[in-house]
Amino acid sequence: MEEMRYNDDGTLVLTDEVRARLADITAEARKATEELVEIAGLGEGDVFVVGCSTSEVTGQLIGHASVFPVAEAVFNGIYPVLKEKGIYIAAQCCEHLNRAIITEAECARKYGYDPVCVVPRPKAGGSFATVTYATLNAPVALEHIRAHAGIDIGGTLIGMHLRDVAVPVRLSVEKIGEARIICARTRPKYIGGPRAQYE
């Protein structure tokens, strides 16, 4: 992506090249989400955690160049896929909010999670969590969640928000923008001894 330039009010200068690259980012995010949802066998009521460094998506160092339009581009690729299938999005905040989660209040009620009081902002929570909070019907913040699958965009470390047995998933999409992605699905634990059956 070309070097980011900003207007006097702090908004991104949207050249034709930047607009085209944002559209590519949306397409990459959508394809990755579609593949992971299918591979993980996710369905209505499941939880999909997303950690996203917009800095890394633009080729910068994580935590140093939060870019709101990039967060919107990634969100616009991921969220419609999940919403269509009734899957809850769980957006991980940055380390300044202790990697809290933004999700729908309905999700918190369904799984018995207690909300905490905080509203993410681009420099305290991150741009992706901020976009998520602004878009959801009834957003809440949680300290922890146990997601069924997730995508880590740019090394944000989503493992603390996955269920106990995480299984790495390789997709045809390896990057969103300039950020490498790492994906995982989860499965129930296997228990028992030599006589146990699992299917």
pLDDT at 90 over 80: yes
Non-local CB neighbours of 71 within 8 Å, separated by 6+ positions? 52, 54, 122, 126, 127, 128, 130, 131
Q: What is the domain partition of the chain in residue ranges? A: 16-187
Non-local CB neighbours of 163 within 8 Å, separated by 6+ positions? 146, 147, 148, 186
Non-local CB neighbours of 55 within 8 Å, separated by 6+ positions? 61, 62, 63, 64, 65, 66, 67, 154
Task: State percent of the chain over pLDDT 70.
Answer: 90
Q: Which residues of 36-62 are buried (b: 16+ CB within 10 A; e: fewer)?
A: bbeebebeeebbbbbbbbbbbbbebeb
Average pLDDT over residues 70-89: 97
pLDDT at 61 over 70: no
pLDDT tens track for 34-46: 999 999 999 999 9
For residue 188, what pLDDT is reported? Answer: 92
pLDDT band at 80 (very low <50, low <70, confident <90, very high): very high
| Calpha distance 57→67 (Å, rounded) | 9
Higher pLDDT, 57 or 148: 148
Non-local CB neighbours of 165 within 8 Å, separated by 6+ positions? 186, 187, 188, 189
Task: State percent of the chain over pLDDT 90.
Answer: 73
For residue 12, what pLDDT is reported? Answer: 66
Cα radius of gyration (the chain): 17
pLDDT band at 197 (very low <50, low <70, confident <90, very high): confident
| CATH class of the domain at 16-187 | alpha beta
pLDDT tens track for 63-72: 556 678 999 9
Pick from 22-26, 67-71, 183-187: least confident: 67-71
For residue 193, what pLDDT is reported? Answer: 79
pLDDT band at 122 (very low <50, low <70, confident <90, very high): confident
Mean pLDDT of the chain: 91
pLDDT band at 104 (very low <50, low <70, confident <90, very high): very high
